[in-house]
Structure 1
Amino acid sequence: MQNYFGITSGVGVKAYQQGSFKGNGYNPIVNFSGVIGSTLFSLGTDISFDISAKTFDQFTAGLSFNSPFLITSLTLDDKLDTIKASCYRELNPLTRTAIAAELKHSSLLNGSTTMTIGAQHALFPFTLIKARANTEAKINTLIRLELWEKVLLSMNGEVDCRATNKISKIGLSVALRA
């Protein structure tokens, strides 16, 4: 709507399964999202309400602080059960070298806290490499190639160092920019 204010809302359906004999059905969902702020500070929310069950399906709220040297955010997710604090710092704009960190704490479900640290670097103007590791012993990498001006090819992988019996995840995607 404006440079520093925006809202959106919508109505959709969510599929559910009642049981093997009763069949499947759909619940109507109403969604509202909004953000207000400036180039320095912003505050936003995302709310989904299940009309049939008369419950909030999703509730997220967040705020961010953006300065020329650091971007930080604080988010409440999972119906206000999980809090995330994150920061991002660009070190070299020419090579797009940057570091980031996130601290996530889930209070009611399992009381777990996870710290994630990541970095990115562009080897060439058309190749970006990202890597991150967290305290749950998961390591992720991503290589993104800009093949043409509007075609991106991404290859990514995840290794769970604690789960020796699990197969690592590998992905490949192609994106077209408009």
Structure 2
Amino acid sequence: MGPGLYSDIGKKTRDLLNKDFNTDQKFTLTTYALNGAAITASSTMKNEAILGEIHTQLKQKNVTVDVKATSDSLLLTTFTLEGYGVPGLKKILTIPFPHQTAGKAEVQYLHDYAGITASFGLSSKPLVNLSGVFGNKAIAVGADVAYDTATGDFTKYNAGLSYTNTDLIAAVTLNNKGDSVTASYYHLVNPEKNTAVGAEVAHCLSRKESTVTFGAQHALDPSTTVKARYNSNGLTSALIQHEWRPKSFFTLSTEVDTKAFEKSPKVGLSLVLKP
């Protein structure tokens, strides 16, 4: 019921305009072991390359262990500890192999009037990231900064403001060290049909350039959803997603460059299977 984390500012609009729009071919299968561990195998064909990964997740009370192995020889292990005497507190430790120094420790704290995240790299001179959001479920303001202890410089400082109503969410963020401003809008038009519209305007101050993106979604029936988006660069995308059984989705998407019709449209397929 609180303001959430900094990453939640504008998330509803980003999901509407970006989530599930895919121009690759992707297959995902999830199964469950007898001890309750969820095992997910996925394969993505991107251009001429095939990328694969296996992800295992095991939950025991307040502890979650995630192990991910990718086709480029990376093993990523994440330990998540929630609660233990402090409601809303979450501790996360991520260890990659063979690049252990690229690991990260993170602490998240969610409150009715605040959401705070602090993280640092597991190296002698780590990158330290701190973000905070203050407010309530209606109005929230936050900031996100990163400090490189190796160079003594701030590599990132962003700020954001969001307003949330029953059916409307608006947000404004200042990113890229103050060089870009993004304003977003999300409106749930019909909750029964999951009909929503949204827009995002991103303006770069140094280049004096703006990109405008519009999007909409609508549920044709309880298991089938269509989405579409268009941006000022001429890219038009559309998708249809069907949930043919609980938590199992088939998604067909396409993207067309309206400023270069001589180019072939891109088509993406995604199949997600869960028993």
**TM-score category of the 2 structures, normalised to the smaller one:** 0.7 to 0.9
- 1 or 2, which has the higher helix percentage? 2
Moved more, 33-42 or 4-13: 4-13
Name the SS for the 2:111 alignment partner. coil
Match of 1:36 among 134, 157, 160: 134
Match of 1:146 in 2: 243
- Counterpart of 1:8 in structure 2: which amino acid? T
- Counterpart of 1:68 in structure 2: which amino acid? T
Match of 2:164 in 1: 66
1:155-170 alignment to 2 at 5 Å? 155-163=252-260, 168-170=265-267
Higher RCO (C-alpha under 8 Å, 6+ residues apart): 2
Moved more, 99-108 or 46-55: 46-55
Match of 1:46 in 2: 144
Structure 1: state its 5+ residue gaps: 15-25
Match of 1:5 in 2: 114
Structure 2: state its 5+ residue gaps: 1-109
- 1 or 2, which has the higher strand percentage? 1
Is 2:179 aligned against 1:81?
Answer: yes
Distance in 1, matches of 2:152 and 2:260, equals 39
TM-score by length of 2: 0.53
TM-score by length of 1: 0.78
Distance in 1, matches of 2:177 and 2:273, equals 34
Deviation, 1:159, is 2.4
Distance in 1, matches of 2:273 and 2:141, equals 30
Name the SS for the 2:157 alignment partner. strand
Q: Count matched residues.
A: 165
Distance in 2, matches of 1:31 and 1:175, equals 34
Could you give the per-residue CA deviations for residues 44-72 of structure 1, whole angstroms, max 9, x where no partner exists? 22222222222222222111111124211
